[in-house]
């Protein structure tokens, strides 16, 4: 290896994680551009790539326009980012505790269903309804998160397996529940819930601009930002946050220091579950107003990528959630305006995460130690 390459390598080593993240996003955009060009059949046949390159420009411009180009776009981005932020915090916190929570989807469903119930069964004023519904979401998620937590603490069952399985259980339980008289909307035969009461609906974020029908952004984003703040406080200032992190990084040392491993495992999953449940509740109370089988979508899984990209830090998770939200709303615009399918967004997200993971992979293969690059991800393999 030439010396200049070597020194470049060691300089790259010292780059902060932030720069690596930024490079990952830029690299992903480059890969995305290549894909756009390569999927242009016309250009491939004629060998004239000029138009294909302008297609790239148009697609990315539409991406920007659709995510931050107008107040409406921004409003969409905010709504998309909100569940990513909250579920991202849930998964980041689990990572920091040494747990890999794949069950955010199931926990969102549990929380969302509980919030829906409070939303239509009670008819109080908003000041009471909304907090109650949110608490129901927290509790629902916590209970559902407690299952893998207890299983792991008691029997050692790995949370990756149990949370994946619990996702299926949640998905079919919600299907069943939505078919019961309690939940099902009276005039429907398909599994769909009653509407929540108006008082239970989260207020519009841009309500102060008058009655704009095109601005759907709800105030869930404020709760999401509170979550980020709370997560920061928990990690940096709280006693339990210190325990969670010590346990996450070195369970043996935590036990040596007198912390109770089983209790921390359970608590970690319960808290992560509660936060994911909150994300589910906010989707119901802010975005949909009712529950359906697939209201949680793939958010619980996408949030894993959000937490990884944000290296499980509060700010990192927030910004990567906003990026993912922006890509999603921009993607729709891109699909509408150009020939590029919204699937490109999925590819972009995947490539970003891959580039984030790749330097670490390379480092571990080459046994290069670098304190700067840290995914914040400390869960252990299935065998442990």
Partner 1 sequence: MRLDLVDITKSFPGVLANDRVSLNVSSGEVLALIGENGAGKSTLMNVLYGMYRPDSGEIRIDGEAVTFGSSADAIASGIGMVHQHFMLVPVFSVTENVVLGVEPTGVLGSLDMAKARQMVKEISDKYHLDLDPDALIENLPVGIQQRVEIVKVLLRDAKIVVFDEPTAVLTPSEILEFFEIVKSLVDAGKGVVFITHKLKEALHIADRIAVLRRGRVVGETTPAQADENKVAEMMVGRPVQLVVSKNSARPGEEVLAVRDLTVLDVDGRTIIENASFAVRSGEVVGIAGVQGNGQTELVETLTGLRAASSGVVRLGGDDITDASPRLRHELGMAHIPEDRQRQGLVVGMTIAQNLVLTRYHSSEFSSGVSMNWDKVHDVAEELVKNYDVRTTDVDNLASTLSGGNQQKVIVARELSRDLRLAVASQPTRGVDVGSIEYIHSQIIKERDSGTAVLIVSTELDEVMALSDRVLVMYRGQIVAEVDPKTTSAMDIGLYMAGSKPQGVNA
Which positions from 247 to 286 touch partner 1 by CB under 8 A, shown as an x/- string?
--xx-xxxxxxx-x--------------------------
Q: How far is CA 147 from CA 38, 107, 156, in A?
A: 47, 10, 12
SS3 242: helix
Q: Is the separation of the CB atoms in 112 and 278 below 8 Å?
A: no
**Token representation of residue 232:** 């920061």
Residue choice 62, 142, 166, 246 for contact with partner 1 (CB under 8 A): 246
Size of the site for partner 1 (CB under 8 A): 28
Our CB check for partner 1 shows the closer of 1 and 127 to be 1
Asked if 156 is part of the footprint of partner 1 (rule: CB under 8 A), the reply reads no
- CB nearer to partner 1: give 365 or 371: 371
From the CB of 275, what's the least distance to partner 1, in Å?
17
User: Interface with partner 1 by CB under 8 A: which range of 7-15, 52-60, 200-208, 314-322?
Assistant: 7-15
* Rounded CA separation 381/365 (Å): 17
Cβ nearer to partner 1, comparing 123 with 236 = 236
The whole-angstrom separation of Cα 228 and Cα 89 is: 7
Closer by beta carbon to partner 1, 134 or else 235: 235
Helix (H) or strand (E) holding 143: helix 126-155
Nearer to partner 1, 10 or 180 (CB): 10
Chosen residue from 181, 189, 211, 239 binding partner 1 by CB under 8 A: 239
Three-state DSSP class for 382?
coil
Backbone angles phi, psi at 170, to 5 degrees: -60, -45
Return the ∠ at Cα 45 (arms to 44 and 46), rounded to 5°: 100
What is the closest distance, in whole angstroms, from the C-beta atom of residue 250 to partner 1 in the complex? 5
Place of tokens 């980012």: 81
Site for partner 1 in 314-373 (CB under 8 A): 368-371
Residues contacting 358, CB < 8 A, separation 6+: none
- How many other CB atoms are there within 10 angstroms of residue 264's CB atom? 24
**C-alpha dist (Å) from residue 107 to 56, 99, 241:** 38, 15, 21
- Check binding of 242 to partner 1 (CB under 8 A): yes
**79 versus 378: smaller Cβ distance to partner 1:** 378
CB of 283 to partner 1, least distance (A): 29
Closest CB 136 distance from partner 1, rounded Å: 24
Q: What are the residues binding partner 1 (CB under 8 A)?
A: 6, 10, 13-14, 236-240, 242, 245-246, 249-250, 252-258, 260, 368-371, 374, 378
């Amino acid at each position: 290896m030439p010396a200049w390459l070597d020194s470049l390598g060691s300089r790259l080593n010292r780059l902060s994680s932030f720069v690596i993240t930024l490079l990952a996003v830029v690299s992903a955009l480059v890969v995305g551009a290549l894909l756009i060009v390569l999927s242009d059949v016309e250009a491939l046949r004629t060998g004239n790539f000029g138009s294909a390159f302008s297609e790239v420009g148009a697609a990315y411009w539409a991406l920007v326009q659709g995510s931050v180009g107008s107040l409406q776009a921004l409003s969409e981005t905010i709504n998309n980012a909100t569940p990513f932020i909250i579920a991202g915090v849930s998964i980041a916190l689990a990572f920091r505790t040494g747990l890999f929570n794949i069950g955010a989807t199931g926990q969102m469903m549990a929380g969302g269903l509980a919030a829906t119930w409070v939303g239509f069964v009670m008819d109080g004023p908003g000041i009471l309804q909304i907090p109650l519904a949110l608490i129901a979401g927290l509790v629902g998620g916590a209970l559902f998160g407690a299952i893998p937590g207890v299983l792991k603490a008691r029997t050692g069952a790995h949370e990756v397996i149990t949370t994946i399985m619990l996702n299926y259980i949640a998905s079919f339980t919600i299907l069943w529940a939505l078919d019961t008289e309690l939940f099902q909307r009276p005039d429907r035969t398909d599994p769909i819930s009653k509407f929540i009461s108006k008082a239970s609906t989260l207020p519009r974020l841009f309500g102060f601009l008058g009655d704009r029908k095109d601005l759907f952004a709800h105030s869930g984003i404020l709760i999401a930002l509170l979550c980020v703040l709370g997560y920061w406080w928990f990690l940096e200032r709280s006693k339990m946050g210190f325990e969670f992190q010590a346990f996450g990084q070195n369970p043996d040392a935590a036990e040596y220091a007198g912390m109770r491993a089983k209790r921390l495992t359970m608590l970690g999953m319960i808290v992560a579950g509660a936060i994911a449940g909150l994300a589910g509740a906010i989707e119901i109370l802010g975005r949909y107003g009712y529950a359906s089988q697939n209201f949680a979508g793939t958010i619980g899984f996408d949030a894993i990528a959000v937490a990884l990209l944000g290296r499980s830090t509060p700010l990192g998770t927030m910004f990567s959630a906003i990026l993912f939200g922006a890509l999603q709303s921009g993607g729709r615009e891109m699909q509408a305006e150009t020939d590029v399918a919204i699937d490109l967004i999925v590819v972009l997200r995947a490539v970003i995460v891959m580039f984030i993971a790749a330097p670490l992979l390379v480092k571990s293969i080459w046994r290069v130690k670098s304190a700067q690059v840290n995914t914040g991800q400390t869960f252990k393999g299935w065998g442990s």
